[in-house]
Amino acid sequence: MGSDARRGRLVELLGPVVAAEGFDLEDVTVTPAGRRRLVRVVVDRDGGVSLDDVADVSQSVSKRLDEVDVLGGSAYVLEVTSPGVDRPLTEPRHWRRAQGRLVRAELRDGTSVEGRVTGADESGVELDGARDIAYGELVRGRVQVEFNRRDAGLEDELDDELDDELDDERDEDLDVDEDIADAAGTGDEG
């Protein structure tokens, strides 16, 4: 069985197993690793993938691979993972899951645009709340890594905490000033 045929058979075999666990099967690859093969299964879903999720999917996939002789009886190492940030955005679900992220989109006319995904549905993607791009216009997109971005909600929360701390310090300073005035006998008596 050729590598493309094997991959197709694995996708056909593992797709329902992964779907039963509540995930989308994004990719399956088989690569030689010494005397064994590395079977890498990439899964994703809305809300992301936790380590516990990976463990559950891994058990189900391993059980199914052991039931069927799709790898020709040779030893294999199974790796179940989620897609990395460098995964190309090619499906509507990829764009939906990138909501709020900065992306660079390659367009069929040879140009590219960059913007934050503010919406995605079955017809297309909305960037920065203004530009709608139909999936037919898109070749693919990539999430751009942002090292210094602060989430707006987090920024507001941090600003509120800082304001509260400054108010507390100001109140403490006023209390100290009143204590000094009382000790010096210049405080209000009444």
Grade residue 170 by pLDDT with cuts at 50, 70 and 90.
low
Average pLDDT over residues 9-14: 92
What are the pLDDT digits (tens) for 63-111?
999 898 777 777 889 999 999 888 899 999 999 999 999 999 999 999 9
Tokens representing 134 are 């139909």
Selection from 52-56, 161-165, 180-184 with the highest mean pLDDT: 52-56
Domains detected in the chain: 1-81 (3.30.300.70), 88-143 (2.30.30.100)
Taking each helix axis from N to C end, the angle separating 3-20 and 51-67, rounded to the nearest 10 degrees, works out to 120
Grade residue 33 by pLDDT with cuts at 50, 70 and 90.
confident
| CA distance linking residue 104 with residue 189, whole number of Å | 69
pTM score: 0.67
Which strand (E) or helix (H) includes residue 124?
A: strand 124-127
**Strand 112-120 vs strand 138-143: parallel, antiparallel, or unpaired?**
unpaired
Closest CA to 141 of 171, 174, 115: 115
Query: How high is the pLDDT of residue 53?
Result: 94
Average pLDDT over residues 130-159: 77
pLDDT value at 153 more than 60: no
| CA distance linking residue 49 with residue 172, whole number of Å | 46
- With a pLDDT cut of 70, the percent of the chain lying above it is 76
